[in-house]
């Protein structure tokens, strides 16, 4: 865990309200880190519904497989998250560790193991010693109480430099419901239907299938539009839990219910906020980079081109060097494999057009563009001039610190 | 241009023989660099055939478009290569610059502009001032003479730290023919049917269509199996020129002619040698990494998985840190999108099996593996256990120097 907070960290820590029906506790189980919390327990009152999206990796972690299997019921009573060990590529012992963890938590929480969701983040390939959860679990259930989402966010950090939390409220009918979300990110971030670890909690009364639909829709332009290094984790997990305990909240069964309009918007805000925080805390990041591609033949094509730019080491190192090297943006557009016409291409850095109709903008002023590149937030726009496809992704720069952090992560 | 030679550079400089029918000269045209050669002129005797493969970028450079257009004739009389400016994304002025360069060279060489091939490497998006070639071209044609391929290789370098050349001989019938090749690489290297710039010269008598077929076949497992940073250049160009002046060399029309067997082998050796040198001179590289994937469902699937590993920043930074972090190899296999079964996966570093059947090898010895990681050449093998598909790619590690080199390339 880094000791220096990212210069891109939000300046204000959000005021996170409690969610009726959810209690939280954290503990030091000594999984890998010393002198810091590394286990989070969330307890849900009976009636809580659950939804989740997970990594598309062909080599998913044991907890991801566990969650996928028990999610069919749509019901949740507990969530156990640990940092320091991903329990990924751990074979039979990994499966046994998930079962044991769920059993320990179920016993302490008074529920069934199949109602306990699990997530692990940290080193891949090290066996996870689940017996370490036993001594702390009873204390966790006893101490669990409403509220401290920032402590929860802190317990799931790995190379993150700040805890990530966001909140929003919405009306459903006459009820006022609250959403609270936490996330961890940092490296190995190129989510594909999910991100590293993120959990959204709400007191709304929404069926599991409706939650699932909204989560899947919500993630497409938030977490799935963020990349740190193009590396998709084995452990990506985004889950949402709804207790239904908001006063007077009508029970909503279908995602298409018009009463969910404000809730969907609030969910979108929380997801966008958390995923932007993940980009702001990319390993070694010194610049937040927003890449907009417009005029593509479709939104999907715009996404692939934006991701090709966002994942290009040459674009990312140029931004780290505060160099408006738009030639590398041309390269990344060209290698994306998507329809593009060099002679229609235009490129902007921070609102300044640097390239136009396939060549350097006649009004190009290196000094002005250099000023833009010195800022902590870089807005890069590419117009293809082919169609109406538009998309936006977030990333960060590639610095020597990224190399340093990842060259000695295990040592 | 870096002043420190890559620690992975070949210890011996090859002895490059002259090729009958080919004369070379280099000059300082001051395109971008000071006090170094930056233009190469190669003159070919009448009857020389030509073949080429080029970048698949959707935004190719002006010289790539020029070469594609004139290659149809299959005939070459001259080649002009400059470093320092890629003449890419330069619009109409870029097209005018290629035409002017070819005209200047054709006049000095006494041939048609459509017989002059062009290649440019360097910064993208800067207009290329082709008038700079005029004052040096007459001198180049006068000084051109057989032989100095190393000087030629030096004139086309950008961030390369050593000139790249390779040679081989072969029998065609009773004739002994010679191949000489040069290349430049360094960054923006993830060739897709071609590489940055490489030129192969031979005195064999082979038709242009047969040359083209052999070049296309030869590149698949050599240049196209190398990646430095996953970034495909706008300028990738690999060309081959055959003068037909080897004594007693029969004229070969078809690539399938059995008399080409030894020549194909020699060509493969030259291409493999040059492409390995490109990997050894990856920007900031301190480790040469060979990645073998076997047991995949097909060779194409093995290639995609090997490239996913080779392009993973997390794998590459771990290797830079001499960390056998095979969990990141699992991640890269998982994100490749190709068939893979976590519980059949095995991984070796330098011949030591570190993972087996979906978990850490029971005999895993961190100390032994650490010794392997300290070496300058890292052999990484993944067995998928699914089929007979096998492939091999070369890459290098991702170091702080890569970030430093690319953060201030233009400044």
Inter-chain CB proximity B94 and A359 less than 8 Å: yes
A-B C-beta contacts closer than 8 Å: 237
- What token pair was written down for A395? 């990333």
**CB-CB neighbours of A120 under 10 Å:** 32
Q: Which of B229, B330, B407 sits opposite A124 (nearest CB)?
A: B330
Q: Name which of B314, B316, B338, B384 to mutate to probe chain A: the one with the most chain A Cβ atoms within 10 A of its Cβ.
A: B314
Inter-chain CB proximity A330 and B124 less than 8 Å: yes
Task: List pLDDT tens digits, range A288-342.
Answer: 999 999 999 999 999 999 989 998 888 999 999 998 888 889 888 988 889 998 8
Distance of alpha carbon B374 from alpha carbon A314, whole angstroms: 27
pLDDT at residue A193 in the model: 35
Give the DSSP H/E element, type plus range, for residue A180.
Answer: strand A175-184
pLDDT at residue A369 in the model: 92
B49 bridge partner residues = B75, B242
Inter-chain CB proximity A58 and B333 less than 8 Å: yes
Task: Determine the average pLDDT of the residues in A94-108.
Answer: 95
Task: Determine the average pLDDT of the residues in A105-122.
Answer: 94
- pLDDT band with cut points at 50, 70 and 90 for residue A135: very high
Find chain A residues with C-beta within 8 A of B56's C-beta: 335, 337
Q: Which of B325, B328, B400 sits opposite A404 (nearest CB)?
A: B400
Q: Which of B60, B311, B335 sits opposite A232 (nearest CB)?
A: B335
Distance of alpha carbon B75 from alpha carbon B95, whole angstroms: 21
Tell me the three state secondary structure of residue A351: coil
Nearest to A88 by CA among A99, A97, A79, A78: A97
Task: List pLDDT tens digits, range A238-272.
Answer: 888 898 899 999 999 988 999 999 999 999 888 88
- What token pair was written down for B69? 């257009």
What's the start-to-end Cα distance of chain A, in Å? 12
Residue B276 phi/psi, 5-degree rounding, is -65, -35
Inter-chain CB proximity A360 and B311 less than 8 Å: no
- Domains parsed from chain B with CATH numbers: 22-280 (3.60.70.12), 288-407 (3.10.20.340)
pLDDT at residue A100 in the model: 96
Is the C-alpha dihedral spanning A342, A346, A350, A354 positive or negative? positive
Average the pLDDT over each of A23-27, A382-386, B357-361 and give the range with the smallest value.
B357-361
pLDDT at residue A352 in the model: 95
Q: Name which of A54, A55, A56, A58 to mutate to probe chain B: the one with the most chain B Cβ atoms within 10 A of its Cβ.
A: A58
List the Cα angle A106/A112/A113 in 5-degree steps.
Answer: 65
CA distances from A45 to A19, A72, A203, B289, B292 (A): 11, 19, 11, 53, 51
Inter-chain CB proximity B358 and A91 less than 8 Å: yes
Q: How far is B239 from chain A (nearest CA, A)?
A: 21
Q: Which residues contact A121 (CB under 8 A, 6 or more apart)?
A: A81, A82, A83, A84, A86, A156, A158, A184, A196, A197, A235
Inter-chain CB proximity A59 and B330 less than 8 Å: yes
Query: Are residues B332 and B317 in contact, defined by beta-carbon separation less than 8 angstroms?
Result: no
pLDDT at residue B382 in the model: 97
Q: Which of B123, B340, B400 sits opposite A400 (nearest CB)?
A: B400
Closest residue on chain B to A326 (Cα) = B125
- pLDDT band with cut points at 50, 70 and 90 for residue A3: low
Give the DSSP H/E element, type plus range, for residue A63.
Answer: helix A62-70
Q: How many CA atoms lie within 13 A of A145 on its CB side?
A: 2
CA distances from B168 to A42, B145, B194, B260, B262 (A): 68, 20, 21, 14, 10
Q: Which of A89, A311, A407 sits opposite B342 (nearest CB)?
A: A89
Q: Which residues of B are catalytic?
A: 195
Tell me the three state secondary structure of residue A211: helix
Query: Are residues A25 and A50 in contact, defined by beta-carbon separation less than 8 angstroms?
Result: no
Q: Which residues of A are catalytic?
A: 195
Task: Determine the average pLDDT of the residues in A140-165.
Answer: 90
pLDDT at residue B157 in the model: 86
- Helices vs strands, H then E, count in chain B: 11, 15
The b-or-e profile of A13-22 (16+ CB within 10 A means b, else e) is: ebebebbbbb
Nearest to B84 by CA among B30, B152, B139: B30
Distance of alpha carbon A191 from alpha carbon B194, whole angstroms: 30
Distance of alpha carbon B95 from alpha carbon B63, whole angstroms: 8
Inter-chain CB proximity A321 and B406 less than 8 Å: yes
Query: Are residues A198 and A181 in contact, defined by beta-carbon separation less than 8 angstroms?
Result: yes
Q: How far is B91 from chain A (nearest CA, A)?
A: 5
Residue B145 phi/psi, 5-degree rounding, is -150, 170
Q: Burial-class residue A226 by CB neighbours within 10 Å (0-12, 13-18, 19+).
A: buried
Closest residue on chain A to B398 (Cα) = A403
Is the C-alpha dihedral spanning A333, A337, A338, A340 positive or negative? positive
Residues in chain B where the model's pLDDT stays below 50: 1-2, 191-195, 411
Distance of alpha carbon A304 from alpha carbon A333, whole angstroms: 9
Closest residue on chain B to A88 (Cα) = B327
Inter-chain CB proximity A313 and B317 less than 8 Å: no
Find chain A residues with C-beta within 8 A of B32's C-beta: none
Task: List pLDDT tens digits, range A172-217.
Answer: 989 999 999 898 876 665 544 334 688 888 888 898 888 888 888 8
Q: How far is B234 from chain A (nearest CA, A)?
A: 6
The pTM assigned to this predicted structure is: 0.80
DSSP string, A105-161: HHHHHTS-GGGEEEEEEEESSSPP-GGGGHHHHHHHHHH-BS--HHHHHHHT-SS-S
Find chain B residues with C-beta within 8 A of A399's C-beta: 403
**Residue with the two structure tokens 């050599």:** B222
Q: How far out from the chain centre does Cα B213 lie?
A: 18
pLDDT at residue B189 in the model: 59
- DSSP tag of B40: E
Helices A400-407 and B400-407 cross at an angle (nearest 10°) of 170
**Is A1 a residue whose pLDDT tops 90?**
no
């Amino acid at each position: 865990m880094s000791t220096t907070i990212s210069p891109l960290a939000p300046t204000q820590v959000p005021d996170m309200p409690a969610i009726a029906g959810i209690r939280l506790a954290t503990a030091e189980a000594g999984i890998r880190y010393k002198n810091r919390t590394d286990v989070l327990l969330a307890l849900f009152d009976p009636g809580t519904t659950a939804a989740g999206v997970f990594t598309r990796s062909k080599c998913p972690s044991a907890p991801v497989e566990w969650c996928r299997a028990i999610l069919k019921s749509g019901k949740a009573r507990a969530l156990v998250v640990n940092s320091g060990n991903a329990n990924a590529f751990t074979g039979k012992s990994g499966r046994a560790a998930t079962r044991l963890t769920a059993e320990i938590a179920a016993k302490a929480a008074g529920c069934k193991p199949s109602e306990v969701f699990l997530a692990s983040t940290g080193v891949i390939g090290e066996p996870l010693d689940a017996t370490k959860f036993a001594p702390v679990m009873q204390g966790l259930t006893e101490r669990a109480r409403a509220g401290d989402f920032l402590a929860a966010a802190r317990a799931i950090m790995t190379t993150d430099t700040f805890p990530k939390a966001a909140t929003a409220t919405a009306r459903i009918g006459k009820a006022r419901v609250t959403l609270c979300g936490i996330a961890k990110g940092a490296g190995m971030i190129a989510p594909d239907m999910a991100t590293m670890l993120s959990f959204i909690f709400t007191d709304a009364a929404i069926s599991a299938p409706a939650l699932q639909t909204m989560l899947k829709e919500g993630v497409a332009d938030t977490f799935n539009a963020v990349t740190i290094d193009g590396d998709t984790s084995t452990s990506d997990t985004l889950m949402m839990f709804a207790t239904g305990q908001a006063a007077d909240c009508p029970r909503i069964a279908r995602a298409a219910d018009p009463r969910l309009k404000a809730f969907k918007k609030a969910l979108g805000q929380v997801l966008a906020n958390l995923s932007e925080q993940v980009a702001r805390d990319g390993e070694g990041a010194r610049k937040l980079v927003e890449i907009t591609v417009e005029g593509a033949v479709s939104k999907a094509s715009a996404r692939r081109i934006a991701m090709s730019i966002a994942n290009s080491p040459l674009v990312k190192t140029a931004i780290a060097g505060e160099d408006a090297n738009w030639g590398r943006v041309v390269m990344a557009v060209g290698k994306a494999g998507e329809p593009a016409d060099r002679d229609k291409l235009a490129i902007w850095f921070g609102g300044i057009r640097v390239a136009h109709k396939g060549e350097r903008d006649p009004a190009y002023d290196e000094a002005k563009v250099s000023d833009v590149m010195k800022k902590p937030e870089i807005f890069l726009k590419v117009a293809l001039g082919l169609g109406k496809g538009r998309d936006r992704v977030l990333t960060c720069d590639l610095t020597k610190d990224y190399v340093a952090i990842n060259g000695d992560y295990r040592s």
